[in-house]
Structure 1
Amino acid sequence: MLMPPLCTQPERYRVAMNSLRSPWLAAFGVAVVVHLALVLAHAQPWESITKCLIAPLLAAWVIEQQGPRIIALALVFCLFGDLFLEIDGLFVAGMASFAAAHVCFVTFFVRRGALDALRRRLWIPLALLVGAIVLLVWVWGGLESALRVPVLVYALLLSATAATALAVDLRAGVGALLFLFSDGLIAARIAERVPEDSVLGGFVVMLTYCLALFLLATAIVQKEARTRAAGGFDPARPTDCWPTLPAEVGR
Structure 2
Amino acid sequence: MSARTALAAAPRPAAGALSRGLLVALALAVAVDLGSLLAGAELGHLIAKPLLLPLLAAYAATRGAPRLLLAALLLGWAGDVLLLSDADGAFLAGMGAFAAGHGCYLVLFGRRRTSVPLGIVYTGVLLGTVVLLWPDLPAELRIPVAGYSFLLAATAYRSSALGLAAGAGGALFLLSDTLIATGLAGWPRPPAPDFWIMATYVAAQCLLTAGALKAEYGERRTTD
Partner Cα separation in structure 1 for residue 214 and residue 196 of structure 2: 27
1:226 to 199, 214, 218: 218
Aligned-pair CA distance for 1:162? 1.1
- Which stretches of structure 1, 4 residues or more, deviate above 4 A after TM superposition? 18-21
Aligned-pair CA distance for 1:167? 2.3
% identity of equivalent residues: 35
Instruction: Give the TM-score of the pair, scaled to structure 1.
Output: 0.77
Partner Cα separation in structure 1 for residue 47 and residue 128 of structure 2: 34
Aligned-pair CA distance for 1:125? 1.6
Q: Which residue of 1 aligns with 2:191?
A: 199
- Asked if the contact 1:24–1:57 (Cα under 8 Å) also holds between the matched residues in 2, the reply is yes
Please, which runs of 5 or more residues in structure 2 have no aligned partner? 4-15
Q: Which residue of 2 aligns with 1:140?
A: 134
Q: RMSD of aligned C-alpha atoms?
A: 2.3
Partner Cα separation in structure 1 for residue 128 and residue 192 of structure 2: 18
2:204 to 212, 218, 221: 212
1:178 aligns with 2:172: yes
1:217–1:37 distance in 2 versus 1, CA, 3 Å: same
2:59 to 58, 61, 77: 61
Instruction: Give the TM-score of the pair, scaled to structure 2.
Output: 0.86
More helix by share: 2
Name the SS of the counterpart of 2:82 in structure 1.
Answer: helix
- Asked if the contact 2:19–2:59 (Cα under 8 Å) also holds between the matched residues in 1, the reply is no
1:19–1:207 distance in 2 versus 1, CA, 3 Å: farther
- Asked if the contact 1:158–1:179 (Cα under 8 Å) also holds between the matched residues in 2, the reply is yes
Larger-gyration structure (1/2): 1
Q: Which residue of 1 aligns with 2:108?
A: 108
Amino acid paired to 1:108:
L
2:44 to 43, 46, 50: 46
Please, which runs of 5 or more residues in structure 1 have no aligned partner? 6-17, 230-249
Aligned residues: 209
Partner Cα separation in structure 1 for residue 18 and residue 161 of structure 2: 24
Name the SS of the counterpart of 2:218 in structure 1.
Answer: helix
Deviations 1:128-177 (Å, cap 9, x if unpaired)? 01101111122211111110111011111011111111123111010010
Amino acid paired to 1:107:
V
Deviations 1:170-197 (Å, cap 9, x if unpaired)? 11010010000000000001111124xx
1:122–1:29 distance in 2 versus 1, CA, 3 Å: same
Aligned-pair CA distance for 1:48? 1.9
